[in-house]
Amino acid sequence: MVTRLVLVLGDQLSQDLSALREADKARDVVVMAEVAQEAEYVRHHPKKIALVFAAMRKFARALEEDGWNLRYTPLDDPENAGSIVGELLRRADGTGAGDVIATEPGEWRLIEKLNHAPIPTHILPDDRFIASRKRFEDWAEGRKALRMEYFYREMRRETGLLMEGDDPAGGKWNFDHDNRKPPKEGLNFPAPVTFTPDADTQAVLELVAKHYGDNFGDLEPFDLATTREEALQVLSHFITHALPRFGDYQDAMMQDQPYLFHALISPYMNLGLLNPMEVCRAAEKAWQDGDVPINAAEGFIRQILGWREYVRGIYFLEGPDYAERNALRHDRDLPDFYWGAQTHMNCVAQAVDQTKRYAYAHHIQRLMITGNFALLAGVDPHQVHEWYLEVYADAYEWVEAPNTVGMSQFADGGVIASKPYVSSGAYINRMSDYCKGCTYSVSAKTGENACPFNLLYWHFLDRHRDRFQANMRMKNIYASWDRMDADRRETVLREAGQWLARLDAGETV
């Protein structure tokens, strides 16, 4: 029988991958490769590149120990073809393989490359998710609005997670109202699980420092999990030490506290080291055992069973052009302070510095700080999309693009969000302690010292009034704007315009 190549990508590090299940150990050859095309299509955070390469090398070793015939190409291999398709062709020449088995990639970009590869390539569904692409398409068909909450409820019913017969556990589908507590003094946060780099990881760190050390972000210290066994330790630590208070404080933000009660497992789920259902079941069991409250278990499970599955469905349903959408026609360049340049806005500085150091920020920092500012300021959503894709260790386009283009920037025109997620400085002040250390005054609505979020909030709503004033969820906001004194409205718009002009001129703002 003819040998086949079995492609395993860097975010497909799962022993039960569909391509591996389809393959025959006795005759097929697994291909894994660290290639420049994947490391460089955007300027990824060095910590993310190191995580992927280190995890790939260890997964490859595990496959070999399991009896697979494997060809692995390090980034610095002199014969490295530089691309996934190039490596497949090189390995086909070396093994006599006639075709390729692959599990569907999570980015349209790479799907297109495999579909047009000059070697027959059979792409299998990626069934590591709870809902298949077809399942989501069936749910979406004929619906006027694709709201996550309704999809989530169907997933709860189908999986039985947090269900008591036909009813949701605790009598409600959603406990989000209980999950909005602001930070307070005296909270004790569990220290995250960390791992000292072994020789394999250290070799990767040296390689990444050499080739990608100039990319935005700190490569070291590097203390991330790089194997399934380590990822399971991170999950267990979260369930025991952080999940009990995760629900209450999942939206809170605190200066110099990057992790709070968050799980820190999204990079490992998105690599394939953890399975989403096993993660949800672990949280459910902790609730069943009486170790965590229902609002914590439900809020956490909703992020995976609901949101994670939903955004993947949206990404594939909407098609390859999704990341290019710009419904609001925003065209301002991404400000330099997203790359670490100085800014007087403490909340933005905190979120960006944390991102630089850890390749991590939690969902509210991404949505209501860096995302909120970009939307209010009218930044080109594709530049915002590429920034998120570059700087976070858990960012892959299937999950990042809907979160950015849809949820954060409203660039899809409302496919995901029923209204834009914008806020003034009041929300940031309520949910964080950032404003206490800021040059600007969050209580100042106008004037030289006014919080830019206050000015830009009304500027955004005013310039997009034709689109949003009929939105039932925004009528009260526009009514508040209309009740303001005309002179005050004029002052707000003038000062917002002046502030944006200073931003465009390259001044430190």
Q: For residue 480, count other CB atoms closer than 10 A to its CB.
A: 11
Considering the chain, tell me which residue range(s) the CATH 1.10.579.10 domain(s) occupy. Answer: 336-504
Residue 11 in tokens: 């975010």
Backbone angles phi, psi at 251, to 5 degrees: -100, 0
Residue 2 near residue 98 (C-beta atoms within 8 A): yes
Place of tokens 């070396």: 94
**Both tokens of residue 244?**
């009990």
CATH T-level fold of 4-124: Rossmann fold (3.40.50)
pLDDT tens digits, one per residue of 445-468: 999 999 999 999 999 999 999 999
**In whole numbers, what is the pLDDT of the chain averaged over residues?**
97
Q: Which residues of the chain have pLDDT under 50?
A: none
CATH 3.40.50.620 boundaries in the chain: 4-124
Smallest CA-to-CA distance from 463 within 336, 331, 334, 369 is with 331
Q: What pLDDT shows up at residue 177?
A: 85
Rounded Cα distance, 494 and 203, in Å: 55
Angle at 242 between CA 237 and CA 243, to 5 degrees: 100
Sign of CA pseudo-dihedral 332, 336, 338, 343: negative
Give me 127's structure tokens.
């069934």
Residue pointed to by tokens 């390259």: 506
Q: Where are the domain boundaries for CATH 1.25.40.80 in the chain?
A: 133-189+228-318
The C-alpha atoms of residue 27 and residue 6 are separated, in whole angstroms, by 11
Dump pLDDT digits (tens) for 207-246: 999 999 999 999 999 999 999 999 999 999 999 999 999 9
Q: Which amino acid, one-letter code, is at 275?
A: N
- Under CATH, to which class is 336-504 assigned? mainly alpha
Second-level CATH architecture of 133-189+228-318: Alpha Horseshoe (1.25)
- Confirm if 169 and 294 have CB atoms less than 8 A apart: yes
pLDDT at 2 (0 to 100): 84
Burial of 490 (0-12, 13-18, 19+ CB in 10 A): exposed
Answer yes or no: are the C-beta atoms of 470 and 477 closer than 8 Å: no
